[in-house]
Amino acid sequence: METFYSKYGGEETISKVVDYFYDLVLADDTVNHFFANTDMEKQRKHQTKFISYALGGPNQYSGQSMAKVHEGMNLQPVHFDAIVSHLRAALTHFGVKESDIEDALTKVESLREDILYK
């Protein structure tokens, strides 16, 4: 079965989606403060590798666990939902089919417990 990753053009496309996604995130006062002290170039590269892997690409993700990365942030459902909403918008913007967006967001949703309230 063709993966989402290969179907939509691999890491090059994922990178564009991630850039657009972070433009939306950084314009959103609900969540942008979480990135106030973040090296966004590094964050974008890291997120591109993570999302590429999550969508069926090669595993180049060598980061810490989701729980560890979000430790001390005390993320709430409203924050998680805002991020999911921006990811949906970014995927839609780049012409990803609704069924593929649902598959991608199901994978993201599976991380909710590892991210919230840490």
Confidence of residue 48 (pLDDT cuts 50, 70, 90): very high
- Smallest CA-to-CA distance from 64 within 7, 12, 115 is with 115
70-115 pLDDT, tens digit each: 999 999 999 999 999 999 999 999 999 999 899 889 989 999 999 9
Confidence of residue 18 (pLDDT cuts 50, 70, 90): very high
CATH class of residue range 9-115: mainly alpha
| 86 has binding-site annotation | no
In contact, 116 and 80? CB cutoff 8 Å: yes
| 46 has binding-site annotation | yes
Q: What is the pTM of this model?
A: 0.91
